[in-house]
Chain A
Amino acid sequence: MALLTVEDLKMYYPVRGGVFRRTRAVCKAVDGVGFSLEPGETLGLVGESGCGKSTVAKSVVRLLKPTSGRIVFEGNDITRSGPAELRGFRREMQMVFQDPAESLNPRHTIGQILEEPFVIQKIGTRGERSEWAAELLRRVGLPVDALGRYPFEFSGGQRQRIGIARALALKPRLIVCDEPVSALDVSVQAQVLNLLLELQQQDRLAYLFIAHDLSVVQHMSDRVAVMYLGKIVEIATATELYRNPRHAYTKALLESIPQVDLSRKRERKLLKGDVPSPINPPAGCAFGHRMRHPKWQESVAMDLRLQEVSPGHWVQPCPCCTT
């Protein structure tokens, strides 16, 4: 059974304006996203800023209440669960955020930060909690004397390790990583990525791994989903997606990543324009619309739900972008 199943997830925000704060428009941040995640698996979610990947992350751990759709975790529908029920589920699902400086309370010591999950869940005695906190630090490769210190005393990479330790505290089965390395330097990034891979092997953790850097996502994931303007346009295993991308947007993303390999210096087809706003998005295939593709009109009347083109490789079947 899948650990997590997301079906037709939609998250709409009203855009209000005028004297009476009437709803002027709807921002479709996430518009019909579905995927599943097996225990021990990593699903990467990639796309440009504003494509809705962080909104998906926050909906999955139910920091947001989705407009519609279903989120099923370990067989339980948590789409409409209240705070008390969610507290139970959050032992099993945790989150690591992008900016460790902002997600750690600057007035708490590392010890307090790491013991807080146990306090909230009412687990253990005071002595046990501080023992566990020390053990967590050891697992993420930090010295135990860090317990009495404050977040500002640590570098970005160390703070991200603390964020990961906190996420591990309750022995979750799923960790949602929202841009966990994009604020880090490359040498530190490699250290943190290796740590995440090690922890996954030890505990059979499942990750929903979000980043805008496709080479990082590709490196970390079993399967990768590419998002564009609130929708998944393609989903496949990491290797398949790299070798055989089918959607024009995936190809454009792959082509725009700078490569160190000088022997493969290639002429790039540059993507023009910016990501359109998710407020009143175009009908049909949004990427075809951006590219002003001659066949975009045809996609408006079509059913654009993902279709399986080869085993495990799903792509949006629009006439303009899919080959």
Chain B
Amino acid sequence: MNEPLLEIRDLRVGFQTDHGLLVAVDDVDLTLERGKMLGLVGESGCGKSVTARAIMRLLEQPSGQVLGGEVRLEGRDLLPLPLEAMRKVRGKEIAMIFQEPMTALNPVHRVGRQIVENLLLHEDLTPAAALKRAVELMEWVGIPAPDQRIHDYPHQLSGGMRQRVMIAMALSCNPKILIADEPTTALDVTVQAQILDLIKRLQNETGMAVILITHDLAVVAETCDELAVMYAGRLVERGPVESIFQSPLHPYTKGLMDCLPKLDHPPKTMLPIIPGMVPSLRDMPRGCRFAARCPNAHDDSVLSERQPWRECSGGHGVEACACFASTL
């Protein structure tokens, strides 16, 4: 029982494009323990969503391909599974919700039917029993008057309610893992708080593990147990949330935290910024990818050499670039 629920080792994912093979996820290691919530954070293009899709084997075809590594669910590697077996994993063992529930739901079917479809696929239920279960699920995720809402089409529901329907569908077969890919980015802050609270409550009730993908560090600070920060396709820092927020080790993590406007700071003061932009996938340095924007960078040697990973105390690890490794 000591093995982690989900273990990702040396995951490499690439996309075949007009410019050749672009590696979007480069040697990522992640571990998800039972019942924990892991926040996967980074800016657009850092590979966080690609990592999630690779776990589900839902990469865009035919361009996307896993180039190497392992994704072990309770010890079983998912990557070499035949499609038929993988289909049983999706929805049943690992479920996923997306940023924009309007595009993830089928607009021409009533929401009830969409929940029922998933139940009939994975569970041995009669259609009538599945419908009853769908109403219960909708009530469970806090949809008012579920026996009426079940007959609604997705466009008749608000953004928050649609996301609740998505969560009801995702949880319909009691998955062991829920992957939530920017579940609240399209929602208002007040509704975002409701949805995050809901995910947290459902997690406590079912004991499932959650991977929460977001660009918002503050969301992670409030909801997650573990945090993994990605930059330009690589993991740069990983550890318990408290440890990372109290003493971030990588300059990118520090920069991300500092550049958020804070409510209790005096208005109209300059924010500390991370200068420049993320390097293009087409000419990614072999070594430290943050060097061009890094306040600590002192020479170019870190660009050409892959920088080592260092485990610090309490499960807190970081890509220990030579520019700051001496201070660790």
Contact = CB atoms under 8 A, between A and B. Distances in A.
Interface string A269-292: 011101100000000000000000
A146 interface: no
B189 A212 contact: yes
A260 B221 contact: yes
Given A186-B215, A190-B271, A258-B222, A274 B260 contact: no
Among A222, A242, A270, chain B packs the most CB atoms within 10 A around the CB of A270
B267 A187 contact: no
Contacts of A258: 192-193, 196, 216, 218-219, 221-222
A111 interface: no
B296 interface: no
A77 B242 CA distance: 55
A157 B190 contact: no
A159 B98 CA distance: 27
B197 A270 contact: yes
Interface in A232-255: 238-239, 242, 252-255
Interface in A44-59: 48-49
Contacts of A103: none
Among B194, B242, B261, chain A packs the most CB atoms within 10 A around the CB of B261
Interface string B123-150: 0000000000000000000000000000
Given A213-B189, A271-B190, A189 B263 contact: no
Contacts of A242: 263-264
Contacts of B193: 255-256, 258, 268, 270-271
A212 B188 contact: yes
B89 to A, nearest CB: 32
B255 A262 contact: no
B265 interface: yes
Given A48-B190, A187-B255, A191-B273, A239 B221 contact: no
A205 interface: no
A189 B241 contact: no
Nearest to A254: B263
B205 to A, nearest CB: 17
B157 to A, nearest CB: 10
Interface in A163-210: 185-191, 193-194, 197-198
B273 A187 contact: yes
A215 B265 CA distance: 10
Nearest to B244: A262
B161 A219 contact: no
A216 interface: yes
Nearest to B187: A49
B274 A194 contact: no
Given A212-B188, A215-B260, A271 B194 contact: yes
A142 to B, nearest CB: 12
A262 B241 contact: yes
Contact of A257 (B158, B191, B218, B277): B218
B141 to A, nearest CB: 14
Among B43, B256, B262, B268, chain A packs the most CB atoms within 10 A around the CB of B268
A191 to B, nearest CB: 5
B103 interface: no
B8 interface: no
Given A197-B268, A259-B221, A262-B246, A214 B263 contact: yes
A81 to B, nearest CB: 32
Interface in B252-308: 255-257, 259-275, 277
A255 B269 CA distance: 23
A186 B256 contact: yes
Contacts of B189: 48, 212-214, 253, 256-257
Among A186, A222, A275, chain B packs the most CB atoms within 10 A around the CB of A186
A215 B263 contact: yes
B206 interface: no
Contact of B161 (A220, A268, A274): A274
B160 A274 contact: yes
B153 interface: no
Contact of B261 (A218, A239, A265): A218
Contacts of B156: none
Given A194-B273, A238-B267, A262 B245 contact: yes
B22 interface: no
Interface string B194-226: 101100000000000000000111110110000
B44 interface: yes
A307 interface: no
- Nearest 10 CB-CB pairs, A to B? A219-B261, A190-B259, A258-B218, A256-B193, A185-B43, A48-B188, A238-B267, A187-B274, A190-B271, A271-B190
12 contacts: A157-B277, A194-B273, A197-B268, A215-B262, A219-B261, A222-B267, A255-B193, A257-B263, A258-B196, A259-B218, A260-B217, A274-B158
